[in-house]
Amino acid sequence: MQVSRREFLRATAGAGAGTAIGGLVGLGATLAPARAAAQELRLKDAKAVPSICPFCSVGCATLVHVKGDRIVNIEGDPRSPHNEGTLCPKGAAIYQLHVNPNRQTKCLHRKPGASSWEVVELEWAMDRVAELIKKTRDDTFIEKLANGKVVNMTPAIFALGGATLDNEFNHVCQKFWRGLGVVAIENQARI
């Protein structure tokens, strides 16, 4: 078997590092105090705000650490009877929802008949969605059936909620859609 110089150096360095770490652990050395000190410095002077993980209907409690107006850390709340301070992989990544520089802050919009997308502001997109919902509702609203029964509904809008919404927000969504007369309401968490 031929071993290249690079492979030999990589294997030697890995074995040497493993031996050194193994020797330190064998002597009782631990990095736990250093990790704890680093964590304490990162959270020093941060205010812990209780919150809930947005990813599923379990409702795992979190602690959001805030310094000024910046989120500096999000972790599981050990006081919670649901998760006892632990978070699943999606919950452990909540921090990235807030601080990720790749997070989208604009929308793509393609006008009817256009062949390309254009970048638009989120505010404009929200106004456009509201405008289209109102137009669709106004165009398709049924106040009474042919037999005279009052129904006050629109069959042209379907509302689909998501598993990332908590119970309180889903309740408000139900009230909102029902108030508009929407009958077809479903939630992705139940499908």
d(CA 181, CA 141): 8
Listing DSSP states for 103-140 in one string gives ---EEEE--TT-SS-EEEEHHHHHHHHHHHHHHHHHHH
Lowest mean pLDDT among 15-24, 57-66, 157-166: 15-24
Lowest mean pLDDT among 6-10, 63-67, 143-147: 6-10
| pLDDT for residue 34 | 57
Span 157-191, pLDDT tens digits? 999 877 666 677 888 888 999 999 999 988 776 65
Rg (CA), the chain: 27
Closest of 135, 139, 190, 138 to residue 167, by C-alpha = 190
Query: Which residues are 65's β-sheet partners?
Result: 48, 73
| Residue 35 pLDDT exceeds 70 | no
157 to 1, 179, 185: CA distances (angstroms): 67, 13, 9
| pLDDT for residue 66 | 92
- For 121, phi then psi, to 5°, come to -70, 150
| Residue 58 pLDDT exceeds 90 | no
- Judge whether 157 and 135 are in contact, CB under 8 Å: no
Reported as a pLDDT band with limits 50, 70 and 90, residue 33 is low
Query: Which residues are 171's β-sheet partners?
Result: none
Span 68-104, pLDDT tens digits? 888 888 999 999 988 999 998 888 888 888 888 887 8
- SS3 category, 90: helix
d(CA 65, CA 19): 38
| pLDDT for residue 53 | 87
| Residue 13 pLDDT exceeds 90 | no
Span 103-119, pLDDT tens digits? 788 999 999 999 999 99
Q: Where are the domains of the chain?
A: 34-103, 104-139, 141-191
Q: DSSP class of residue 58?
A: T
- SS3 category, 190: coil
Residue with the bigger pLDDT between 141 and 19: it is: 141
d(CA 28, CA 18): 15
Q: Does domain 34-103 have CATH number 3.30.450.20?
A: no
Number of H-type helices and E-type strands within the chain: 6, 8
d(CA 126, CA 133): 11
Report, as an integer, the average pLDDT of 120-125: 93
